[in-house]
């Protein structure tokens, strides 16, 4: 055998992409360790292996070294926690050619089920570039998979995805919509609304964080003011009273902000998870119905796999609906916290006015500087709250539209 020719050929094949169409959806089912138990004809055909070569083999039989280890580390970390996971995956077929998929992997009885669609959105391009960089870094710096996963997370944060859930939600709904467009299908109103909800929730979180950071920057102002008021003596008595009140209020703000920030994170997380679950349920609906009409492959029990797919479809449809209702609830909770923050903000505004009057009367430079700091903090709170009110209004409106769209357009078909 001429090995040089073989390696030349495999080098050449490495650069060749296997074509497949947007309508083609892959599925495979594994045991808890990732050994292939079942799959469909699309998966078998594109992999280039016969079914008997795939059955019982670890899923890394089609692993491509272009996927950083970080991705699989994250995938398994989530799967072991029972969490549904989405990821871009580049695979290698038997002859060395490659193909990209967007994989949605969910826990199922006795293992996991992976359903894969053809990616084409703008986020796909970003992911490809990130994977190439990270795979290179892993090789050059001999990073452990966990270290590499931390780098991947840092990159995703820099790209505007607060968490992996945020990345999954944005990427899957973008892929689903892009695929619909490629198939000339009308866009799903529900997903379009989720695509509006996600940035609004990110804005809400950013504004809450801005207030929280403002608090940290100026947290010593009330105490400093109190110290300086003491040093001024008799004439600083009014400033001392103002500082004491400010100090009490500041502690309330600190406590209030913890819950406020947490509630904003929960709103954002619930929306991200909801978007991912809804798109997952759509993809699973499609594979369940396409597989039921597919000619069975030898070695795959069609009835058993139909039952698995139908079970997943029903589970994720219910999960998607549950999370939709959860968004409304979380927004209500958050709204309650806004009223509390508004109350604290008006207390702050009152102290600011009193402080300004007193500091003008005293004309002590350091006190004036501290009052200017108090003003700066109050402005941060005010502008943060106004951003939050705006984002919250948009979120509430789009959520009720989403519930309506789900109930009318996409209501689950009773079986
Ligand atoms: C349901 C399921 C589907 C998977 N599909 C793929 C896949 O298509 N390609 C792949 O490389 N890994 C896939 N994996 C992950 C593999 O189990 C494995 O973690 C990965 O190939 C990395 O292998 P390695 O650690 O031996 O490098 C899948 C895992 C599960 C549970």
Q: How far is the CA of 358 from the centre of ligand 1 (A)?
A: 68
What residues form DSSP beta bridges with 100? Answer: 90
CA of 391 to the centre of ligand 1 (A): 39
Nearest CA to ligand 1 atom 20: 60
Average model confidence (pLDDT) across the chain: 92
Helix, strand, coil percentages in the chain from 3-state DSSP, rounded to 5: 70, 10, 20
Calpha distance 175→110 (Å, rounded) = 28
One domain, residues 282 and 180 = no
Given ligand 1 and candidates 31, 34, 131, which is best to mutate, with the most ligand atoms within 8 Å of its CB? 34
Kindly tell me the burial class for residue 24, based on how many C-beta atoms sit within 10 Å of its own C-beta (0-12, 13-18, 19 or more).
middle
Asked if residue 85 and residue 41 are part of one domain, the reply reads yes
Question: In b/e form, how buried is each residue of 106-128, taking b as 16+ CB within 10 angstroms?
Answer: bbbeebbbbbbbbbbbebbebbe
Residue 63 Cβ inside 6 Å of ligand 1? The answer reads yes
- Is 252 found in the same domain as 130? no
Domain identity same for 183 and 193: no
- Is residue 114 in contact with ligand 1, taking CB distance under 6 Å? yes
Nearest CA to ligand 1 atom 24: 60
CA–centroid distance, 36 to ligand 1, in Å, is 10
Q: How many angstroms separate the alpha carbon of residue 321 from the centre of ligand 1?
A: 29
Domain at 162, CATH number: 3.30.450.20
More confident residue, 232 or 158: 158
Dihedral of the CA atoms 6, 12, 13, 14 (nearest 10)?
A: 110
Checking if the pLDDT of 4 tops 70, the result is no
Cα separation, 343 vs 337, whole angstroms: 10
Q: CA-CA distance, 303 to 287, in Å (whole number)?
A: 14
> Which residue, judged by its Cα, is nearest atom 26 of ligand 1?
60
Q: Is residue 81 part of a domain?
A: yes
In the predicted model, what is the mean pLDDT of residues 64-73?
97
Q: From the alpha carbon of 67, which atom of ligand 1 is closest?
A: 11
Q: What ligand 1 atom has the least distance to the C-alpha of 60?
A: 21
pLDDT digits (tens, 9 = 90+) for 304-330: 999 999 999 999 999 999 999 999 999
pLDDT tens digit sequence for 131-165: 999 999 999 998 899 999 999 999 999 999 989 99
Domain co-membership, 33 together with 182: yes
Q: 121-125, 286-290, 332-336: which range is least confident on average?
A: 332-336
Q: Whole-angstrom Cα distance, residue 328 to residue 312?
A: 25
86 CB within 6 A, ligand 1: no
Tell me, in angstroms, the distance from the centre of ligand 1 to residue 113's CA: 11
C-alpha of residue 59 to centroid of ligand 1, in Å: 5
pLDDT average, residue stretch 356-380? 89
Residue ranges making up the domain that contains 304: 189-408
Cβ distance 191 to 139 under 8 Å? no
Whether residue 95 lies inside any domain: the answer is yes
Q: State which of 63, 77, 98 you would mutate to test the pocket of ligand 1, scoring each by most atoms of that ligand within 8 A of its C-beta.
A: 63
Centre of ligand 1 to C-alpha 72, Å, is: 7
Please give the pLDDT value at position 228: 87
Among 165, 187, 209, which residue terminates a domain?
A: 187
Task: Write the DSSP assignment of 137-199 as a string of letters.
Answer: HHHHHT--HHHHHHHHHHHHHHTT-SSHHHHHHHHHHHHHHHHHHHTTPPPPHHHHHHHHHHH
Residue 415 placed within a domain: no
Order of strands across the sheet with 85-92? Answer: 36-39, 26-31, 111-117, 98-108, 85-92
Q: Ligand 1 pocket, 90 CB below 6 A?
A: no
Answer whether 60 contacts ligand 1 (Cβ < 6 A). yes
| Domain boundary pick from 124, 153, 187 | 187
Residue 214's pLDDT band (boundaries 50, 70, 90)? Answer: very high
The pLDDT > 70 percentage for the chain reads 97
Q: Report the domain count for the chain.
A: 2
Question: Does residue 388 form part of some domain?
Answer: yes
- Asked whether residue 63 carries a pLDDT value surpassing 70, the answer given is yes
Specify if 334 maps to a domain: yes
Alpha carbon distance 145, 137 (integer Å)? 11
Quick check: CB of 72 below 6 Å from ligand 1? yes
The response to whether residue 352 sits with its C-beta less than 6 Å from ligand 1 reads no
pLDDT at res. 286:
95
- Same domain, residue pair 118 and 215: no
What would the two tokens of residue 171 be?
């990427």
Residue with the smallest CA separation from ligand 1 atom 3 is 114
Q: Is the CB of 34 under 6 A from ligand 1?
A: yes
Does 414 fall in a domain? Answer: no
Pair 162, 201 in one domain: no
Residue 182 and residue 193 in one domain: no
pTM: 0.92
Question: Is 177 near ligand 1, meaning CB less than 6 Å away?
Answer: no
Looking up tokens 């992409």 gives 17
Mean pLDDT of 348-373: 88
Kindly state whether residue 57 falls inside one of the protein's structural domains.
yes
């Amino acid at each position: 055998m001429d090995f040089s020719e073989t390696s030349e050929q495999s080098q050449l094949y490495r650069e060749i992409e296997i074509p497949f169409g947007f309508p083609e959806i892959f599925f495979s089912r594994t045991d808890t360790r990732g050994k292939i138990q079942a799959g469909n004809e699309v998966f078998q055909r594109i992999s280039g292996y016969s079914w008997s070569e795939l059955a019982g083999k670890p899923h890394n039989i089609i692993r491509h070294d272009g996927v950083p280890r970080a991705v699989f580390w994250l995938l398994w970390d989530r799967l072991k926690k029972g969490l549904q996971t989405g990821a871009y995956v580049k695979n290698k077929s038997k002859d060395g050619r490659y193909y990209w998929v967007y994989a949605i992997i969910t826990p199922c009885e006795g293992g996991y089920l992976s359903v894969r669609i053809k990616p084409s959105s703008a986020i796909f391009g970003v992911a490809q570039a990130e994977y190439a960089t990270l795979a290179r870094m892993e090789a050059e710096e001999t990073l452990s998979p966990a270290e590499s996963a931390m780098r991947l997370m840092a990159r995703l944060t820099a790209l505007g995805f607060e968490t992996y859930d945020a990345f999954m939600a944005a990427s899957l709904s973008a892929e689903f919509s892009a695929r619909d467009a490629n198939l000339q299908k009308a866009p799903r109103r529900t997903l379009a609304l989720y695509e509006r909800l996600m940035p609004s929730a990110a804005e809400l979180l950013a504004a809450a964080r801005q207030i929280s950071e403002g608090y940290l920057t100026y947290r010593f102002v009330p105490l400093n003011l109190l110290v300086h008021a003491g040093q001024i003596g008799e004439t600083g008595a009014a400033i001392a009273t103002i500082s004491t009140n400010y100090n009490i209020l500041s502690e309330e703000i600190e406590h209030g902000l913890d819950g406020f920030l947490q509630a904003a994170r929960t709103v954002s997380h619930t929306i991200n998870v909801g978007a991912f679950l809804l798109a997952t349920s759509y993809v699973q609906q499609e594979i369940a119905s396409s597989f039921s009409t597919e000619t069975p492959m030898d070695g795959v029990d069609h009835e058993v796999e139909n039952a698995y797919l139908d079970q997943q479809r029903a589970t994720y449809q219910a999960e998607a609906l549950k999370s939709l209702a959860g968004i409304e609830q979380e927004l209500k909770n958050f709204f309650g916290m806004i009223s509390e923050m508004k109350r604290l903000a008006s207390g702050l505004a009152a102290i600011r006015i009193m402080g300004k009057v007193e500091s003008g009367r005293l004309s002590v430079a350091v006190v004036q500087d501290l009052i200017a700091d108090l003003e700066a903090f109050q402005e941060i709170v005010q502008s943060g709250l106004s951003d939050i009110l705006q984002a919250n209004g948009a979120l509430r409106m789009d959520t009720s539209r989403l519930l309506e769209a789900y109930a009318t357009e996409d209501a689950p078909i009773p079986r």
